[in-house]
Chain A
Amino acid sequence: MIVKMQKSRLTHLLYCIGLCFFWTCTGNINIDKNLNEIPHIFPDYIGVTVPVNIAPLHFKLADSCDYTDAYALFRTGTEQVKVKASGKQFAIGESAWKKLIKSAQEGAIDVKIVTKTDKKWLAYKPFQFFVSADPVDPYIAYRLIEPGYETWNDMGIYQRCVETFKQTEIATNKTMDYNCVNCHSFCMQSPDTMLLHIRKDFGGTLVMRGNKIEKLNTKTPETMSPLVYPSWHPSGNFVAFSVNSTKQMFHTSDPNRIEVFDYKSDVVIYDVEKHEIFSTPELFSKSAFETFPTFSPDGKTLYFCSADSVTIPNDYEKVRYNLCSITFDPASRRFGEEVDTLFNASAIGKSISFPRVSPDGNFLMFTLFNYGNFSIWHREADLYLLSLADKKVAALNILNSNETESYHSWSSNSRWVVFSSRRIDGLYTRPFIAHIDKNGVASKPFVLPQDDVDYYTKLLKSYNIPEFVKGKIKVTPYQVSETARNEKGIDVQFKN
């Protein structure tokens, strides 16, 4: 027994010696100088919190950093990996990363960068990737499209496995005569229950449940437009939608570039089984713009944004949406008679969009900005968190930047959010993932890792509506295309 303990201590001692050696003198690297600064890396992964099942974080030093050779040294309590910069990128292999991140569960990975400049090795101050034991949903679905404007060419809805770098297509417009595809939405992050819209030729809403795909024609005489922004009822039997009359105009001088506004809008509920839509005067009012509906996880409350209707476009800067809610009984399809205003944003001169409730029902995240409803074109747009227990609202400062933070969705375990941010270049939205603990405290977010560090620089499309999904979506672009092309579609009826 004593021999065994001694052996164990000896092993530990040798390991520590080895680690020290590794850290100060790795292979034939003899550090000439230790710098008292943390390096600037892209993407900014310094101090981020990542899930244990995330793909490797590849990064590079800032362009201003000049060197002839460089290494990144990764270390946890039990693992260490040395990665040589290749093409100026530190790209740790997937298997090495998996071992490393597993060994760091609920701890940190220390990262030290050493560079060779003028034949001397310089070591930067180490930084950390913090690892959370909370796993993240393995897939994110999003649309890739150029930011805004009116024309387009290729666009599609894709899914990306966050555990690897693999991206696959769900629906692309090249199979459908380059129509617009948009507004993908999932029922409680389920890959088996989703919908998306196709506009123009072959237009309609495709609802996928299991292996069944249904095409709907959703424009009715009673509603101003086909169905637009969706949110599934947790039962999968209903979907709340907005109907909107939307236009966009272009700023001459404002850095926000584009203004998108609703001339009018309402909220309706679609009954999946009966192919009917219905509403209530509280959601279907001419004196107010109602939009961005979302159900609570218990399905008994419908949250939405509401603003007093004004003359558009003249008074576009006066439109301010509040966060409201109304009760809903799915059994009788009846709504409550009163609308609660949960957050009166207009009272503080602000407007709200994209309310999203965490699946555990504890928090509601929303976007707050100066006016209007299309927060993606508002650089001041930031994310806020409302505690549904005490109705307290707090800015998620650690998630926000000087650029737009807008669309967001929760993971199925309520511990992660993915949100769109324009912080990298001010125009093209990228998906950032952040940990939110059970008390609503957020950690520093990280951009969805890519194999090629320059991927985001070269990609001239935005990530639109990033949504967590619990598994791989099985529907294929072919199925979507065939249904869209060949099905006439079911005409949805408005029945109140």
Chain B
Amino acid sequence: MTVRIPLVNAYPGEPCRVVQIQGGYGLIRRLYALGIREGKVIRKLTTQFMRGPVVIDVGGAQVAIGFGMASKIIVEVNR
């Protein structure tokens, strides 16, 4: 069964398919430039203490984004 959750709630290393980015044009554009867009399978690698930044794996490359931004990325996971 697939469920939709914000990326921050995914398990570390779990494959997540991006279904929606709940942000403005600016955020969407920045995420697109790094290859994070709807349909893409990404992984959350690590989180830091106290809602620190989230490290994401996108096609083998790593990106760190703030907790708030990562909460705006809605992904689909198999549970």
Q: Report if A and B associate in a common complex.
A: no
